[in-house]
Amino acid sequence: MSTETAPVSDAYDELLERYERYSTVQSAGGVLSWDQQVTMPEGGTPARTKQQSVLSSMGHELITDEKVAELLAEIEEAELSGEQSAVVREIQRTHERAAKVPQELVEEISETASEALTAWESAKEVDDFSEFAPYLQTHVELKREYAAEIDPDRDPYAVLMEDYEPCLSLDRVESLLEAVRERLVPLIAEIRDSDASLAVDTFDGEFPVADQEVLARETLDTLGYDWDRGRLDTSTHPFTAGNQFDTRITTRFDSSDPLGALGSTIHEFGHAQYNLGLPREEWGTPLGESRDLSVHESQSRLWENHVGRSQAFWELFLPQMKADLPGIEDASVADAYQAANQVYEDNLIRVEADELTYHLHVLVRFEIERDLIEGDLSVEDVPQEWNDKYEQYLGIRPESNAEGCLQDIHWSHGNFGYFPTYTLGSVMAAQLHAAAERDIDGLSETVADGDFQPLHEWLSANVHQYGARFETNELVKQATGEEFVADHFLNYVETKYSDLYDLWARAGESAEPEAVSRWRLASSAVLSAVWFLSSASAPAAPHYRLWYTLCPSLPTYPVDGPAGNCGAGCLLPWPAWRIASRNLARQDEGDAEKRTSTPFCLPVE
């Protein structure tokens, strides 16, 4: 954490004191929410509803107090450091947003959420959407009213999304989601058409929940979870709650799906590490709070996908899994890696989805909740719309609402605008992990050795320690040296799954050009080092020119894209050359749908 200081006014000190009280009330509400989902008896809902309503009202009163507005106005003239200015920026955003919403509406939303949670749990258990529908309808109406109070002239969904990602516009979010959709849909189709045979049955069988819980705890031990400041429980929907002093994880178990519990546990560990890594001395201030849910999801998805689904992790962890779960003694590391990364053809559940189709699950929810809030879809039509979109995007159709529109907890909380942060977090995770690989020598080797300290330290230094000091894009730029973009994620999934499902050969690359093969075997380390050096030295487009300047003798390949696709000559280092050539191969095959995207065609400027 930076030690920059500046003369601080009495008004700033008082503002911090008031915000700390608000933050403390919010934290207490979080504990009650955790309790309701984990340990509260079923009959406790009526009292809990009132308790949560009172705390929401108290928090609203504290942050909207006229004195807060007066202090913010007085501070405008104060000399503040960069950190202090960030604190004021965040408090002012929270104050101004909350001050526009009547306290009665805040209380009504809180009471509805508490009652809706119980109704959702029951509706899901008995597979009866009609039991939950009235609460969803109330939530939609209340959240439309909430958005209108904040800004009646803006898209209400855009206003709601800012509760979870306040620093990226809806247009920017939609453009990122569209980039992901455009590439993943054809990639998933290619995978489903491939003849690759993966060891998908590696973990088939029945594994007692007690054994899986032992494994989950050993997983957290291995990754470095601080049990003095956390705990593991089970809940209907896995989640993480807490702060830098007390962060609690929940997961869930299915006797026939040990990978599901393992993945959700590692995912929630990522959330927990972010909370626990926030500066303790800044508790109660924005500098001691997470940036937003996009960044939060980047931490969980980084650990779940880039660590937990890596071959290096399975080299480390498979022996432990064999010891805890009898029946998988013959599994190899390659088997486990393939099973953990298989792309499912028939999975209906988002939290059990593979790394690719996961984002189509998110897209379904994003489109439905946006249409609900904007009045283009009625609550009673949600099940039908959900099932139709699953058939459209994933080629499968739920047979029940429990495995369909009732599977997620979010709408019971009234959390409209939350779902896009899952994909934003995955995209950001790939960019952060690429930067960590650049900065940490032999990161994969440290994972295989069970040494996670270098990654913990990198994330702490580049993400956790800043709290909410930087806005989303600036935080990513600070950590990686470039703007928040989808390129790293698209590159990562294209390369990983093309290798896994042998898609290179399907694109006509069964035999590599001689020069490429020679240089790839002899100089891959040099290529990677210089590419990362050029990226770090000259972010964005100029680094392609720097690459060529530094390495004029290394093999690059001019790729002349057809008009309407790229249209410019490109020089591509390995493996981008392979990716671009696959795109061109698709064009040669006359596949109009697939030739609409060549995201790795890199122009030299």
Query: In order of start, what are the domains of the chain with their CATH numbers?
Result: 10-161 (no CATH), 170-423 (1.10.1370.30), 509-605 (no CATH)
pTM over 0.95: no
Task: Choose between 568 and 61: higher pLDDT.
Answer: 61
Task: Choose between 513 and 398: higher pLDDT.
Answer: 398
Pairing of strands 240-242, 247-251: antiparallel
Locate 336 and state its tokens.
Answer: 């486990």
Locate 431 and state its tokens.
Answer: 């960019």
In b/e form, how buried is each residue of 280-294, taking b as 16+ CB within 10 angstroms?
Answer: eebbbbbbbbbbbbb
Say how far apart CA 37 and CA 283 lie, in whole Å.
Answer: 25
Say how far apart CA 399 and CA 1 lie, in whole Å.
Answer: 51
What's the pLDDT tens digit per position in 537-573? 444 333 433 333 333 333 333 333 322 333 333 333 4
Say how far apart CA 467 and CA 475 lie, in whole Å.
Answer: 10
Question: Coil, strand or helix: which one is 234?
Answer: strand
Average pLDDT of span 174-186: 96
Question: What is the residue-averaged pLDDT of the chain?
Answer: 86
pLDDT at 587 exceeding the cut of 50? no
Whether the CB-CB separation of 274 and 299 falls below 8 Å is answered with yes
pLDDT at 578 exceeding the cut of 70? no
User: What band does 56 get if pLDDT is binned at 50, 70 and 90?
Assistant: very high
Helix (H) or strand (E) holding 545: helix 542-550
Average pLDDT of span 173-186: 96
User: What band does 221 get if pLDDT is binned at 50, 70 and 90?
Assistant: very high
Q: Percentage of the chain surpassing pLDDT 70?
A: 82
Average pLDDT of span 184-195: 94
pLDDT at 45 exceeding the cut of 70? yes
Other CB atoms within 10 Å distance of the CB of residue 366: 23
What's the pLDDT tens digit per position in 491-503? 999 999 999 999 9
Closest CA to 295 of 172, 427, 171, 437: 427
Average pLDDT of span 362-375: 97
Average pLDDT of span 430-449: 98
Q: Percentage of the chain surpassing pLDDT 90?
A: 80
Q: Collect contacts of 506-511 with beta carbons under 8 A, ≥24 apart.
A: 506/190, 506/193, 506/194, 507/581, 507/582, 507/585, 507/586, 508/585, 509/578, 509/581, 509/582, 509/585
Say how far apart CA 589 and CA 585 lie, in whole Å.
Answer: 6
DSSP E strands, 424-534: none
Provide the β-strand partners of residue 232: 249
Provide the β-strand partners of residue 558: 571
Residue 516: per-residue pLDDT: 40
Average pLDDT of span 264-278: 98
What's the pLDDT tens digit per position in 129-153? 999 999 999 999 999 999 999 999 9
**268 counts as catalytic:** yes
Whether the CB-CB separation of 138 and 112 falls below 8 Å is answered with yes
Locate 536 and state its tokens.
Answer: 């770090």
User: What band does 8 get if pLDDT is binned at 50, 70 and 90?
Assistant: low
Site of tokens 């600070």: 478
pLDDT at 1 exceeding the cut of 60? no
CA atoms within 13 A on the CB side of 557: 20
Which residue is catalytic, options 90, 162, 165, 268?
A: 268
Average pLDDT of span 506-523: 45
Say how far apart CA 222 and CA 323 lie, in whole Å.
Answer: 15
User: What band does 4 get if pLDDT is binned at 50, 70 and 90?
Assistant: low
